[in-house]
Amino acid sequence: MKLAGALLVISLLIPSAAHSSEMPSLDLDKHRGKVVIVDFWASWCAPCRQSFPWMSEMSRKYGPNGLVILTVNLDKDPQLADEFLSEFPQIHLPVIHDPSAGLAMKWKVQGMPYSFLLDREGKLRHTHRGFRSDETAEYERHIAELTRE
């Protein structure tokens, strides 16, 4: 698992010539030393609406301990993402627009929302498919453990 996680991280840091002109940048090197959540979402995804307030809460709670949350929107029309975000004016999470789904394919996203939790060394430690409020304690436990390392 550790080797697979390390290979995933390395592959994400190497630019892909096939998609370089259309794929947005996700610069994980910039966040080395931080615990990073990369969350893929779309405006049509009902569980994504539930996850945004929770992610914002995690950002406020664990940000001072080194948590960074990066969100990747997969809507083809960026206006749909903007309308979605306007429903949460109090939430300020960075959004990377990926209308061609190049990043989603590279990360092998298997549903919505789909989150990747990386440790301070950039190694993949956990993935979460979907969002269920009855599982947030487990999600938060993973975050808390990594921010204490």
Per-residue pLDDT reduced to its tens digit, 19-70:
334 567 888 999 999 999 999 999 999 999 999 999 999 999 999 999 999 9
Confidence of residue 115 (pLDDT cuts 50, 70, 90): very high
Structural domain contains residue 90: yes
pTM, two decimals, is 0.83
pLDDT surpasses 90 at 16: no
Structural domain contains residue 25: no
Q: What is the pLDDT of residue 112?
A: 95
Structural domain contains residue 22: no
- Contact partners, residue 25, CB within 8 Å, separation at least 6: 96
Q: Are 101 and 73 in contact (CB under 8 A)?
A: no
- Contact partners, residue 74, CB within 8 Å, separation at least 6: 40, 41, 42, 98, 99, 101, 104, 112
In this prediction, residues 1-30 reach a mean pLDDT of: 51
pLDDT surpasses 50 at 129: yes
CATH at 120:
3.40.30.10
For 96, the domain range is 2-15+32-148
Q: What is the pLDDT of residue 25?
A: 80
Helices within 29-135 (DSSP H only):
46-62, 78-86, 102-107
Instruction: State what percent of residues in the chain have pLDDT above 90.
Output: 79
Number of domains in the chain: 1
Q: What is the pLDDT of residue 17?
A: 31
Q: What is the pLDDT of residue 23?
A: 62
In this prediction, residues 116-128 reach a mean pLDDT of: 97
Q: What is the pLDDT of residue 86?
A: 94
In this prediction, residues 138-149 reach a mean pLDDT of: 97
Concatenated DSSP letters for 48-72? HHHHHHHHHHHHHHHGGGTEEEEEE
Structural domain contains residue 118: yes
